[in-house]
Amino acid sequence: MDDGSNFICADKDFRRSKVCIAGIPYDGTSSNRPGARFAPRAIREASHGIESYSIYKKKDLGDKSISDMGDIPLPLGDAKFAMEIIKSFVSPVLRKKKCFFLGGEHLITLPIVDVLSTMYDNLFVVQFDAHADLRDSWMGQKLSHASVMRRIAEIVGFEHLLQLGIRSGTEEEFRLPYRDKLLCEDFSRAGEFVKIIGKNPVYLSIDLDVLDTSIAPGVGTPEPGGRSFTELIETLIKFSSLNVVGCDLVELSPHYDPSGNSSTVAASIVKEAIISLF
């Protein structure tokens, strides 16, 4: 039975489930507003205040076979050590299940993609985000939420990193290889990206700050402007025909939104993404 500590409808035993949810409560490199380590619990709690039925897909999350493995225990500092722990945890899980990971800051995507790159050829990564995250380093650190996509591009290739919703970055970031073709300030090129990916495996990473700050103010690095909730869900649905091998949602910092609305938005995105992509 679901005792309320799991994500809504994620009450199946791991061995019998087809989709697995896991929390990665790490925010050791957060440079603005830390607190994303509290997000997995907040998302799970908020999920019990939303309906399991999707009006967008006309399907119910309860019809999916989902397990919730809880959170990975992680240290607060030492990014390199934390990344190794994440890799050791997700590696055997990803070889058995499609997974949705609850971050945590955006750096948690790096070890996941690192593992998936050893499992799949021609892996693509689609990033929904306000920020390019393509700095070579931040404050002298190569492992940072501000440089995570640079590290990921070095693994999968810059031509396999597709970015949507980006509205903030340095001039250097926007001039990196393929950025003129594979970086989009809104979601208008989603259909084009679907054609580029084709039948290849793809991992989706959703930074909550891709949305307008009025919708989800409780994020680590808020950026004025952004997309609507409906735009995001409709874009995820466009990716439903793809071979999605995993997904995450990152950068919710719940205590910066006392209303709890940001956590509810995050939980709703998780619900809709699982229904649409898995």
User: Beta partners for 163?
Assistant: 127, 183
d(CA 154, CA 173): 14
| pLDDT of 30 | 86
| pLDDT of 3 | 47
d(CA 196, CA 253): 33
| pLDDT of 84 | 97
Q: Tokens 């991992």, residue?
A: 203
- Residue 277 one-letter amino acid: L
pLDDT at 28 over 70: yes
Q: How many CA atoms lie within 13 A of 103 on its CB side?
A: 31
> Please, what CATH class does the domain formed by 14-277 belong to?
alpha beta
d(CA 8, CA 31): 31
d(CA 5, CA 241): 31
What token pair was written down for 258?
């006392």
Give the model's confidence band at 4: pLDDT under 50 very low, under 70 low, under 90 confident, else very high.
Answer: low
pLDDT at 190 over 90: yes
DSSP 165: S
Residue 83 in contact with residue 229, Cβ under 8 Å?
no
| pLDDT of 1 | 34
What token pair was written down for 190?
């989603």
Taking only the tens place, the pLDDT of each residue in 161-188 is: 999 999 999 999 999 999 999 999 999 9
The closest alpha carbon to 155, from 114, 213, 203, belongs to: 114
Domain ranges of the chain: 14-277
Strand ranges, E, within the chain: 19-24, 53-54, 59-60, 66-71, 98-103, 124-128, 161-164, 183-184, 201-207, 243-250
Taking only the tens place, the pLDDT of each residue in 68-108 is: 999 999 987 799 999 999 999 999 999 999 999 999 999 99
Give the model's confidence band at 9: pLDDT under 50 very low, under 70 low, under 90 confident, else very high.
Answer: very high
Taking only the tens place, the pLDDT of each residue in 57-77 is: 999 999 999 999 999 999 877
Reported pTM:
0.96
Q: How far is CA 51 from CA 46, 55, 60, 61, in A?
A: 11, 10, 9, 9
> First and final CA of the chain: distance in angstroms?
22
Neighbours of 37 (CB within 10 A): 21
| pLDDT of 48 | 97
